[in-house]
């Protein structure tokens, strides 16, 4: 009984609980990154993966009795700023892609080498098709 309580206390200590949650966040972000197609959602998934990494770093830094490890915290601070810069650049690319092709979706599967480039931007040719075109310019 005592051993069980000890194991439980060990398992629920922040030094182990938070890194575990960080790993879960990482896996969750990875899952979202694979399954969702809209690029903004993919950027969100990447950010969630990054937050999982930060949580692992900070959780490991908070292990033990003394004050937390300042090097890991400084690394995380650097990471947050880098993440926001990369996110901003990625979002600018998404806006540019949308302006060029008319949708912000990553096409599933490898690009077809034989397909003409215009094929991607079908929406442009159906632009005057009104609302009916909206179903066609989204790749299925």
Partner 1 sequence: MNGLLVLFDLVLLAGIVGVAWRCLASTDLFRAVVLFITFGLLLALAWVRLEAPDIALAEAAIGAGITGALLLVTLERLRSIMAERRSGRPHTPPPDPTGPHALLRALHDPPPERRTFIPALSFALVVGGLLVTALWHQPHSTGLEPVVDAHMDISGVDHPITAVLLNFRAYDTFLELAIVLIALLGAWSLGRHDLIPARPAPGPILPGTLRLLVPVAIVTGVYVLWAGSHAPGGAFQAGAILGAAGILLVLARPRQLPMAPGVPLRLGLTAGVALFLLVGLYGLVAGHGFLGYADAWAYPLILLIEVAATLSIALALVALFVAGRPAGDDA
CA angle, 72 as apex, 66 and 77 as ends, to 5°? 125
d(CA 25, CA 37): 19
2, 4, 56, 115: which one binds partner 1 (CB under 8 A) = 56
Closest-CA residue to 102 (of 65, 136, 62, 68)? 136
Residue ranges in 13-42 that form contacts with partner 1 under rule CB under 8 A: 14-21, 23-32, 34-38, 40-41
Q: Judged by CB under 8 A, does residue 125 bind partner 1? A: no
4, 5, 7, 73: which one binds partner 1 (CB under 8 A) = 73
Q: Judged by CB under 8 A, does residue 107 bind partner 1? A: no
d(CA 77, CA 71): 10
**Phi, psi torsion values for 52, nearest 5 degrees:** -60, -40
- CB-wise, 95 or 115, nearer to partner 1? 95
Quickly tell me which residue has 């009984």 as its tokens.
Answer: 1
6, 7, 78, 118: which one binds partner 1 (CB under 8 A) = 78
Q: Judged by CB under 8 A, does residue 74 bind partner 1? A: yes
3-state helix, strand, coil in the chain (%, to 5): 75, 0, 25
2, 4, 6, 61: which one binds partner 1 (CB under 8 A) = 61
Eight-state DSSP code of residue 113: S
Residue ranges in 86-105 that form contacts with partner 1 under rule CB under 8 A: 86-89, 91-96, 98-99, 102, 104-105
- CB-wise, 34 or 114, nearer to partner 1? 34
């Amino acid at each position: 009984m005592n051993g069980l309580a000890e194991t439980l206390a060990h398992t629920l200590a922040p030094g182990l609980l938070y890194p575990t949650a960080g790993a879960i966040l990482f896996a969750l972000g990875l899952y979202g990154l694979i399954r969702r197609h809209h690029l903004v959602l993919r950027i969100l998934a990447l950010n969630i993966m990054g937050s999982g990494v930060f949580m692992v770093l900070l959780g490991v830094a908070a292990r033990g009795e003394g004050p937390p490890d300042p090097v890991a915290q400084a690394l995380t601070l650097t990471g947050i700023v880098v993440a926001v810069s990369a996110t901003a650049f990625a979002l600018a690319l998404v806006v540019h892609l949308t302006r060029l092709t008319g949708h912000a979706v990553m096409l599933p599967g490898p690009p077809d080498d034989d397909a003409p480039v215009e094929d991607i931007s079908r929406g442009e040719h159906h632009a005057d098709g009104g609302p009916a075109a909206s179903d066609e310019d989204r790749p299925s």
